[in-house]
Amino acid sequence: MAGNQTFTMIKPIAVKNNFIGPILKMINEAGFRIKAMKYTRLTKQQAEAFYAVHAGKYFFEGLTEFMSSGPIVAAILEKDNAVADFRKLIGATDPAKAEEGTIRKLYAESMSHNAVHGSDSDENAIIESDFFFSKMERFEV
Ligand code: ATP
Ligand code: MG
């Protein structure tokens, strides 16, 4: 149902730095339930497709290189007001501007290496979830 789901990725830098565990702990403690999850790696082409909305911007090449540089954790998260509440939990795109206690403040290295992705609208949450997960890969708990 629209409004109670968002999509996230733990980005390659956070996987590399062994932050999968701490980030998932924060996600669970903030009240999100995991509806679907996988450990995978995007090809450059898949990263370009996922971030197509940013095609042509100066950071697009770096962003898609980075997002395909190593494995990620992709997940669908469920909670009331999921999109907005998750964006609050992760903090600003630039970790230097992220609030204390947010995932990006704690675990991001920089604007371009910023630890996690979070959908920016209910509509994009659905599009992004469908990019990674079939119906059979989603579970009620
Ligand atoms: P994400 O979509 O990854 O959750 P976001 O929604 O906070 O991040 P977007 O504006 O969608 O931010 O940008 C996508 C990603 O592109 C950011 O996570 C960041 O790594 C990179 N990015 C965005 N703006 C810039 C910028 N000005 N300089 C460098 N990298 C940028
Ligand atoms: Mg975004």
pLDDT band at 141 (very low <50, low <70, confident <90, very high): confident
With a 6 Å cutoff on the Cβ, whether 63 touches ligand 1 is: yes
pLDDT band at 32 (very low <50, low <70, confident <90, very high): very high
Q: With pLDDT > 90 as the criterion, what percentage of the chain qualifies?
A: 97
Say how many Å lie between the CA of residue 140 and the centre of ligand 1: 31
- Sorted by sequence, the CB contacts under 8 Å of residue 109 that are 6+ apart come out as 13, 95, 115
pLDDT at 2 over 70: no
Please write the tens of the pLDDT for every residue from 36-56.
999 999 999 999 999 999 999
Say how many Å lie between the CA of residue 117 and the centre of ligand 1: 9
What angle separates helix 122-132 from helix 82-90, to the nearest 10 degrees? Answer: 80
Question: Which amino acid would we find at residue 104?
Answer: R
Q: How many CA atoms lie within 13 A of 138 on its CB side?
A: 14
Q: Taking the CB of residue 9, how many other CB atoms lie within 10 A of it?
A: 21
Q: Which atom of ligand 1 is nearest to the CA of 66?
A: 20
pLDDT at 97 over 90: yes
Average pLDDT over residues 10-34: 98
Residue 3: what pLDDT? 82
User: Could you tell me whether strands 33-40 and 72-78 are parallel, antiparallel, or unpaired per DSSP bridges?
Assistant: antiparallel
